[in-house]
Amino acid sequence: MGSTTSKPSETRVFQPKTPVDFSETLLSQLESSNETNFTRKQLGERFVEQRVANRLSELEEETLKKFENKLDESLIKKDDEESPLTSQLLNEKVSSLDQKLAALKEKDDQKHSKFANHPARQQLTTCLLDNKGKPLNCYNQIENFKKLVEENS
């Protein structure tokens, strides 16, 4: 690999079978051009980057509009098209959502209260506090607690 020198590249010259004639203006334009392969590559990359950035911004705007529309549809649905949306109606909807959230929280608290003072949870808590940064040392206690929760759920 490194012990032999690379072969020098051979220069090949191709002779066209038909005569090629370029105009003087084309030749002078090519000779006076400051554009190189490197600059052409940079321009091409910039063009592609710009197109990608434009497309991403379009997709972002579309997604944001879809999200806003979906959010508007889900939060503020009018029961009647004729009834105007008032602050009283919004307050009623907010209070009903608050009641639903409170009911969910209460239900969740009831589920977790079963295990609040259970010995398996206390063992797990103690083990995790003793092995800070090393939760894998408490694998058995974690599995025991998981089994307990699955059995009682």
Reading the block at residue 84, the tokens are: 């105007």
pLDDT above 90: percentage of residues in the chain: 25
Q: Give the tens place of pLDDT for each residue, 41-71.
A: 999 999 999 999 999 999 999 999 998 888 8
At residue 81 the predicted structure's pLDDT band, cuts being 50, 70 and 90, is low
Cα–Cα dist 137/109, whole Å: 29
CB-based contact 115:121 (threshold 8 Å): yes
CB-based contact 121:114 (threshold 8 Å): no
Domain residue extents for the chain: 36-76, 110-153
What's the gap between Cα 122 and its chain centre? 38
Cα–Cα dist 37/44, whole Å: 10
Instruction: Give the per-residue pLDDT at 83.
Output: 65
At residue 79 the predicted structure's pLDDT band, cuts being 50, 70 and 90, is low
Q: What is the pTM (predicted TM-score) of this model? A: 0.32
Q: Average the pLDDT over 15-19 and give the result.
A: 83
Cα–Cα dist 101/93, whole Å: 12
